[in-house]
Structures are given as C-alpha cells and as structure tokens.
Amino acid sequence: MTAPTGHLHYPAPPRPIVEPDHPLPRFAGTEPCRTRPDDYFPTHYNHDRSEVRAAVLACRVCPQQNPCLAWALANPHLAPTGIWGATTPAERTALRRLVNASASSPR
C-alpha cells in the first residue's frame, strides 16, 4: 500500500475540442466565475491553494464546463490567464500539446 501523497486528484477533464472557431459560451450570469470573477484569476495557480481548488471544483459542476474549456483551448490568446473550464493556464497548454500531438500522430 502506498502512502497518500497529499495531492488532490480530480476527475479527468472532458476530451478537449480544439477548434479555432469554437464560440464563447453564452453565460447565464450565474456561473461562479461571473459572480466571483476574482476567484478565477488568482495570483498563483497552484492546486494546493484553496481558492484555486474551490474555483476548479465549482467549474466541475458548472453546466458550461465543456464549452467553456473548448473555447479556452481554442483561444489561448483570449484566455492566457484565469481558470476556464476547470483548468489552469498551464493545464490548458498541456492539453493543447496532447491534442496537437494526437492529431498529428499516425493512426
């Protein structure tokens, strides 16, 4: 049995869609990021920080998560910072690399 590492493990994010024309979701205005925008633009994006964990977990139950993440992945120039679709900027960069690598690898 291995000792717990102390890191939280989140469910795997949905399969990303990287389409440049993916539209910004139509927000209802009640999403957590709309009502508490400062929580979604922390000074540091470490998951050990309670405010980052809270924002990510709120995204995970947001009905806009999939289109929000798809938009943020497709528009890095418009979403260089912030938590979008339960991801940090570094996680989006990693997801884009994965998607691009899988798209260019032979099947």
Closest to ligand SF4 by CB, 81 or 102: 81
Smallest gap, in angstroms, from Cβ of residue 94 to ligand SF4? 18
Sites of contact with ligand SF4 (CB under 6 A): 31-33, 40, 58-59, 62, 64-65, 68, 83-85
Closest to ligand SF4 by CB, 61 or 101: 61
38 vs 26: CA distance, rounded Å: 20
Closest to ligand SF4 by CB, 32 or 99: 32
For the chain, the three-class secondary structure string (H helix, E strand, C coil) is CCCCCCCCCCCCCCCCCCCCCCCCCCCCCCCHHHHCHHHHCCCCCCCCCHHHHHHHHHHHCCCCHHHHHHHHHHCCCCCCCCCECCECHHHHHHHHHHHHHHHHCCC
Smallest gap, in angstroms, from Cβ of residue 47 to ligand SF4? 15
Smallest gap, in angstroms, from Cβ of residue 107 to ligand SF4? 31
Closest to ligand SF4 by CB, 68 or 74: 68
